[in-house]
Structure 1
Amino acid sequence: MYGPDPVLQNLSYPPLLDQPVQLTRAELLASLETTMARHRGGAVWLFAYGSLIWRPECPTVETRRARIHGYHRGLYLWSQIHRGTPETPGLVLGLDRGGSCAGFAYRLPEQQLEEHLFALWQREMPDAAYQPKWLNCQLERGAKVQALGFVLKRNISCYAGALPDHVLRQVFDSASGRYGSTRDYVEKTARTLRAHAMPDRKLEEALVRCCRQGALDFS
């Protein structure tokens, strides 16, 4: 019989993390240029799976429900600024390898595209925790496109991976940063996904299990 993973059960909070190194404007522009050089041409689509669902950075000309395969959504990235602090790190969502993920695909306008993409890079890539990639994206009603997505890097200190419930409880209880608490961030994402008929049941179950007070009812 298999029991709980002893390594996970022995994890403590807060974790010991390196201080994130902010990318310079030149480094952000270089990353954006390299990514766009791999674009196959035509419309530029963006895949949203977390806060971009309920707080898009760019104007859009078309929004479609969509799914990508090969990556799944999880609370796998420590946040020391946006949803936590160095003393009480929070967690944010990322795409990690394996499985699939439902979200939204946004078609971006051609006008001022570079300006809008740079604003997106400033938001999503401040410390290069993500790797921008062109993902195979299945739009609702059958069309397939290449969509820009931000995939987690595993070889960085702020990669959290799957965490045990006792750590998630402490994060939901205490972690809050520049843009609010981790709990609020996760609840908004879960509510929005459910409202558009594509609930993330693992995310909902984590909230129900690990929020000590006022847990949302997703039944």
Structure 2
Amino acid sequence: MADEHWVFGYGSLMWRPGFEFLERRPATLHGRRRAFCIYSVHHRGTYERPGLVLGLAPGGATRGMAYRIAEPAWPEVYAYLVEREQPTETYVEARRHVRLADGRRVDALVFLSDVRHPQWAGALGLERQAELIAGATGLSGRNVDYLRDLVAHLREEGVRDHAMETLLGLVERRELAAG
């Protein structure tokens, strides 16, 4: 409908959107995959000790959540999303089709990883990701807590992301070893 907007979330927007919505539906975005592919120097790390945050890297598909926003609320929701998702402008705003679990296909605002941004980490191996996440802390807290929240909330939504679960195990082992 012309008087509403959709937003696609694949990380913390799935469980902590922070805005009013009319509808929340499981959804899949094709052509992008959930990945810890962005160095975090704000929310989950610092310039001196970067962590990693999620991005939508090229390839694959991502199961997430789509939110329908009414037109009157859109300017405020959009401003909030830009402030939340773009502190260092590591994402590119885009409109992409997502498939809702009920079969509908909608056009949604998504924040894609900017592969040309200096914070783009690219396709790091799981061991390197674990090394960066373990011990990193930023304005929003510990990096490992972000990963734990992600895995727990994905499970609650019925999504088993084996790469994220393996990564969590690697990070937890590193943190135990560090004492």
TM-score of the aligned structures, taking structure 1 as reference length: 0.75
Alignment partner of 1:111: what SS?
Answer: helix
Matching of residue 196 in structure 1 with residue 157 in structure 2: yes
Aligned residue number for residue 93 of structure 1 = 54
Q: Distance in 1 between matches of 2:174 and 2:125?
A: 18
Match of 1:123 among 68, 84, 90: 84
Is 1:177 the equivalent of 2:108? no
C-alpha distance in 2 between matches for 1:133 and 1:165? 28
**Equivalent residues in 2 for 1:147-162, closer than 5 Å:** 147-162=108-123
Q: Find the aligned partners of 1:184 and 1:127 in 2 and give their Cα distance.
A: 21
Name the % identity: 35
Mapped to 2, the partners of 1:92 and 1:52 lie a distance apart of 13
- Give the number of equivalent residue pairs: 176
**Matching residue's letter, 2:81:** L
Whether 2:13 is the aligned partner of 1:52: answer yes
Residue 212 of structure 1: SS of its match in structure 2? helix
Q: Residue 77 of structure 1 aligns with which residue?
A: 38
Q: Which residue is equivalent to 1:138?
A: 99
* Matching residue of 1:108: 69
Question: Where does structure 1 differ by over 2 angstroms across 4 or more consecutive aligned residues?
Answer: 40-43, 109-112, 164-173
> What RMSD, in angstroms, separates the aligned Cα atoms of the two structures?
1.7
Question: Could you report, residue by residue, the CA deviation over 1:84-137 in whole angstroms, capped at 9, with x for unpaired residues?
Answer: 011110110000111100000000122232022111111112222111111110
Alignment-derived partner of residue 65 in structure 1: 26
Match of 1:205 among 151, 166, 170: 166
* Whole-angstrom distance in 1 between the partners of 2:169 and 2:127: 13
Instruction: Report if the CA contact (8 A) 1:165-1:210 is conserved.
Output: no
- Gaps of at least 5 residues in structure 1 are 1-39
- For structure 2, the 5+ residue unaligned runs are none
Q: How far did residue 174 of structure 1 move?
A: 1.2
Q: Give yes or no for contact 2:93–2:109 (8 Å, CA) kept in 1.
A: yes
| Structure-2 change in CA distance of 1:169 and 1:112 (3 Å) | closer
Higher share of residues assigned strand: 2
Aligned partner of 1:181: which letter?
R
Rounded to whole Å, the distance in 1 between the matches of 2:101 and 2:127 is 37
Q: Distance in 2 between matches of 1:127 and 1:85?
A: 12
